[in-house]
């Protein structure tokens, strides 16, 4: 089954961007997932294709209009038959590996990328859109955020990665809420720095214990809140 993604944006030329490269790009070519880009401006008003207006109540910036986005979403829903809509927003649910797993469990999603000061609140209410935040910072639009969300999500879609065991060895995959242990490869010694002897001992049980110990230590130092 193909994982279907529809993106609504004012900048369709930004896609697929990095999602068209490497493993994600190959999976796209092999139709493991599909990408449909809809230009919100195609539904804009007047000959200038206006999509925004001044906010009611005053304030700086412009707000994307509900009637314009509504038309775009209705078109996207009818075209894709998707019933799950995500809106990239700094006030949304914090995105993490668990949310990525939830999204990958869908098979047909729509992602709305806002611009300016944001979108009319009635769109979120009308379509029950799930707001997703990529962190406590502000971007100029939802496009980069949506790419990051899809990168993390698509890696969890079956057949996208060549070796699914890779997921088990990564941060948040090696053991839930633990950062990844240190990685080493050839040469054995580089600029006077040698790899830990345990890794060439051949004792897989001790190597596993060492890796978990390292992961726990790194998590304690860098992200102690994960252990709570």
Tell me which residue range forms the domain holding 181. Answer: 165-227
Q: Are 5 and 33 in contact (CB under 8 A)?
A: yes
Which DSSP state fits 113?
-
* Boundary residue ending a domain (154, 188, 217): 154
- pLDDT of res. 83: 85
The Cα diameter of the chain in Å comes to 72
Q: What is the CATH number of the domain that holds 118?
A: 3.40.1280.10
Whether 112 has a pLDDT exceeding 90, the answer reads yes
Which segment of 162-176, 193-207, 211-225 scores lowest on mean pLDDT?
162-176
How far from each other are the two terminal CA atoms of the chain, in whole angstroms? Answer: 37
159 within some domain: no
Number of domains in the chain: 2
Residue 88 covered by a domain = yes
Q: Are residues 7 and 111 in the same domain?
A: yes
Q: What is the pLDDT of residue 177?
A: 84
Q: CATH number for the domain including 186?
A: 1.10.1270.20
Whether 14 and 76 map to the same domain: the answer is: yes
**Do 132 and 178 reside in the same domain of the chain?**
no
Shared domain for 140 and 35, answered yes or no, is yes
Four-residue CA torsion sign, 183, 186, 188, 194: negative
């Amino acid at each position: 089954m193909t994982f279907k993604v529809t993106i609504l944006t004012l900048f369709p030329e930004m896609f697929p961007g990095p999602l068209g490269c490497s493993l994600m790009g190959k999976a796209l070519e092999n139709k493991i997932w599909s990408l449909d880009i809809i230009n919100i401006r195609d539904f804009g008003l007047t000959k200038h294709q206006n999509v925004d207006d001044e906010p009611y109540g005053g304030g700086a910036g412009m707000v994307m209009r509900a009637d314009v986005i509504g038309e775009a979403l209705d078109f996207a829903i009818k075209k894709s038959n998707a019933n799950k809509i995500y809106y990239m927003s700094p006030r949304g649910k914090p995105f993490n590996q668990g949310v990525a797993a939830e999204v990958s469990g869908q098979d047909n999603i729509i992602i709305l990328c806002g611009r300016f000061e944001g979108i009319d609140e009635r769109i979120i209410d009308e379509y029950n859109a799930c707001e997703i935040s990529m962190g406590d910072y502000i971007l100029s639009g939802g496009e980069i955020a949506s790419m990051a969300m899809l990168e993390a999500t698509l890696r969890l879609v079956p057949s996208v990665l060549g070796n699914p065991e890779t997921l088990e060895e990564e941060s948040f995959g090696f053991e839930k809420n633990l950062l990844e242990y240190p990685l080493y490869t050839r040469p054995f010694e580089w600029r006077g720095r040698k790899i830990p002897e345990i890794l060439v001992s051949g004792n897989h049980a001790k190597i596993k214990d060492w890796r978990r110990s390292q992961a726990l230590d790194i998590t304690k130092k860098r992200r102690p809140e994960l252990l709570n």
